[in-house]
Structure 1
């Protein structure tokens, strides 16, 4: 809803909040204003002296995205090439803005403000960019997945093979991974923030997303997957004795759940999950989510940490190894369970 309804200048963002666009995609935030000159039934007056301002608002500060007036639009350097006004100045009372190449850093509150003389009116909307990109390696060894096997591996992880735009957006958020992986367009790429020997790729000493170009579908690499949203909850089941892989599956089943997939754990991590105990997942991998850095939990690094069998970061632990169980309970079960217990 717009503010200052007793004035003559009304601004409105007519959408339900929050908007939930997907990582790497684009979003149009509609914003319209009218100047009723104290008469709600009067026709809209589009005066060239109206000043439109879009702002990204956090608890700490407000960052200007663009300012438009007299038919001209000035976009701040940080948003150049990513932000445009959809219909202005063709429709002078349409302040709608489009943002492309969305990254997680674009999540937050956006304010559309219109100023005319002494009147100032605005409306706001929240945006939550959905999804996370993660690197996936097969249980056997590094670079063993054909293109079709890569897509299947992502699907089994409650995800889809990532698009180039999604990997680029993850890179823009700070993602770094020196492992070549398939993407949806049959290219093989990897994101590098700090170039080093053997990770120079086609950009040498410059940071960026490296590419091998389009590859034959029978070549083998790792894969980058994209998990969009959670459809339930991820939780730990722990015991002093821990569990073997098969015991972990049984334990989750006893709790009305199943072992979580890798994609589900990544989504839980993105939502803030932090547990410094390694646990079994459905693909027989052993991982744990770290949001608070400490030396004893993955060497002080943030992210979903993986326990590998070998020092070259390949292989999963043997199924009779003992770890906690990381379970997933879907919304459907939870709703059914509540109906029974209530």
Structure 2
């Protein structure tokens, strides 16, 4: 490692049982007057492609008001990330989320936000704000896209991505750069990785469960951070995040070269799987196969749900990589996506 790694231990920002809310009059002890505090659904969990409702309910309607839904985290660059504004009669949608957003209106006091066809970028925190002059108030709901974080490396080797390269590499593999919260959750679920990678906020981190000499020596387990790095001068790997897909991954036995594997997938009406797609099928469809197979990026991998001796004696479930091998090698099968 070229830099001293700092241990960053994060706490959960939202719980199932309470929501953060903000009063514009700065009186933090004052009860919410118009909006109900969401006692159960402060965090809503959904998967990519699904529909979700972020709850926001009024106790009663003031005579004149507007309700504004804003995506507040991760923060957007420069401008407020407004999703929808309503005056109770007409709604106006904004930005990339807006076309998929509407108010639920299950009853006369319901201003809950309904989002359809969820995308990976929809993950984050949203504010429901009732605007009524000096009595403005708001509640905050977190939408968590259920998914999986995976480390990703350039085919040229370790630490080759600028921030923008890393962002593009994740997108090419049907994923996005992971957020810090997503990496933290993955660490609590068992992700242990020595190589540092970019996150969506421009920081560089790596998660360690078992401290060892090759992973920063005697530092404690946790999310080790280099902090913000220069987005064009500094080079690292990437931590990518993906969720469910509309299709699924299946295996065709070889042996194939990379080009032969691609043709084999096409004969079955499919294409070589992307790395994010094989992780998604492993996570959500329990894809379990011992044989190495080519993927679209030229790597060879295999997914394991139930570790066993004949699968290399690997102790933990996961998607295992054999690396980027010569594409002319006729040794492996094909993982196809359809």
- How far off is 1:206 after superposition? 1.7
Matched, 1:159 2:175: yes
Matched, 1:256 2:261: no
Matched, 1:279 2:293: yes
Q: Hey, what's the Cα distance between the residues in 2 that align with 1:243 and 1:195?
A: 39
Equivalent residue, structure 1, for 2:326: 318
After superposition, the Cα gap between the structure-2 partners of 1:188 and 1:236, relative to the gap in structure 1 and judged at 3 Å, is same
After superposition, the Cα gap between the structure-2 partners of 1:232 and 1:94, relative to the gap in structure 1 and judged at 3 Å, is same
256, 269, 284: which is aligned to 2:282?
269
- How far off is 1:96 after superposition? 3.1
Matched, 1:219 2:228: no
Equivalent residue, structure 2, for 1:113: none
Deviations 1:81-122 (A, max 9, x none): 6343359x979x987314559799xxxxxxxxxxxxxxxxxx
Unaligned runs of 5+ in 1: 1-77, 105-126, 309-315, 330-342
Equivalent residue, structure 2, for 1:199: 215
Equivalent residue, structure 2, for 1:96: 39
Equivalent residue, structure 1, for 2:66: none
Q: How does 1:6-25 map to 2 (within 5 A)?
A: none
- How far off is 1:174 after superposition? 1.7
Unaligned runs of 5+ in 2: 1-10, 21-30, 48-142
Q: How does 1:107-118 map to 2 (within 5 A)?
A: none
After superposition, the Cα gap between the structure-2 partners of 1:219 and 1:128, relative to the gap in structure 1 and judged at 3 Å, is closer
Q: Cα RMSD (Å) of the superposition?
A: 3.0
Equivalent residue, structure 2, for 1:123: none
Q: Hey, what's the Cα distance between the residues in 2 that align with 1:210 and 1:254?
A: 45
TM-score by length of 2: 0.59
Q: Hey, what's the Cα distance between the residues in 2 that align with 1:178 and 1:94?
A: 41
TM-score by length of 1: 0.58
Q: Hey, what's the Cα distance between the residues in 2 that align with 1:138 and 1:151?
A: 12
Larger radius of gyration: 1
- How far off is 1:296 after superposition? 3.0
Q: How does 1:1-342 map to 2 (within 5 A)?
A: 82-86=15-19, 96-98=39-41, 130-200=146-216, 204-217=218-231, 218-239=233-254, 242-271=255-284, 272-301=286-315, 302-308=317-323, 316-321=324-329, 322-329=331-338
* 8 Å CA contact 1:287, 1:305 repeated in 2: yes
Q: Which moved more, 1:94-103 or 1:191-200?
A: 94-103
After superposition, the Cα gap between the structure-2 partners of 1:141 and 1:94, relative to the gap in structure 1 and judged at 3 Å, is closer
* 8 Å CA contact 1:101, 1:169 repeated in 2: no
